[in-house]
Amino acid sequence: MIINIHGFGGEGNNSKYRWLCENFPRHAIYSPTFHYGTEEPGGILEHLKNKAEACRRENPGSETSVYVVGNSLGGFFAWLLNQAYPRVPAILINPSLVPFLNLWDRIPERLCRMYLKLTASRVCEEGGGDRLHVIVGDADEHIDHERMTRPMLPTHFKNLHVIKGGTHQLEMTPETETVFRTVIQAPEGPTEGNGDSKYLHYHGERKLP
């Protein structure tokens, strides 16, 4: 399963979800819609962890049963999932790894404090390794990745891909596509779910595992 996490103000049916459906049709894809301006980040993270855990239980012994893709604020949650499950491959696209700074004037103060607490609890962890990939545009107009992204990544991090001229709404390019195709492997055996409706590509309001 590929879990796709949209950014602030976005929705599950985003361009990355549509690209994933077209290019990885054999994978189950779950792309929920979150309301970041009102939902508590701890609840969002718990939902995503429950979804990942349910998929891992259905595929015991498989290290590639779950992949995570996150864009902007969704990249923050993908980062947290990768730290919780270091063996889960994750691709972060223009991630907002310090959302309490990026969104302080766009979300209620109480939520901003929750993001600060959640970030502080993870900042010293060194999760990910070779299974964490970060793609950033050097022309991102919303996030200064030199100041807000690089310092949050593990020491000697190797999988940082800088896209020349890439803006915050980073489109798929040959370089970004190469990262996706390198990280996401074809599922073992037949198409995931083998036609079972619970494995259909899904976008929209969150679903229970």
Per-residue model confidence as pLDDT tens for the chain (209 residues)? 999 999 999 999 999 999 999 999 989 999 999 999 999 999 999 999 999 998 888 876 666 689 999 999 999 999 999 988 888 999 999 999 999 998 888 899 999 999 999 988 765 455 556 899 999 999 999 999 999 999 988 878 899 999 999 999 998 999 999 999 999 987 765 555 444 434 467 777 766 55
Reported as half-sphere exposure (CB side, CA atoms, 13 A), residue 123 has a value of: 15
Q: What is the pTM of this model?
A: 0.89
Domains (ranges, CATH) in the chain?
2-205 (3.40.50.1820)
Phi and psi for 10 in degrees, rounded to 5?
-95, -165
CA dihedral 93, 46, 122, 184 (to 10 degrees): -40
Token couple for 152: 């949050």
HSE, side-chain direction, 13 A CA sphere, residue 97: 27
Q: What is the pLDDT of residue 123?
A: 58
Give the pLDDT confidence score for residue 186 in this predicted structure. 75
**What are the helix (H) ranges across the chain?**
15-23, 41-58, 73-84, 99-102, 109-120, 145-148, 174-183
Which DSSP symbol is given to 106?
A: T
pLDDT for 65 equals: 83
Using the CB atoms, write b or e for 73-91: b if 16+ within 10 Å: bbbbbbbbbbbbbbebbbb
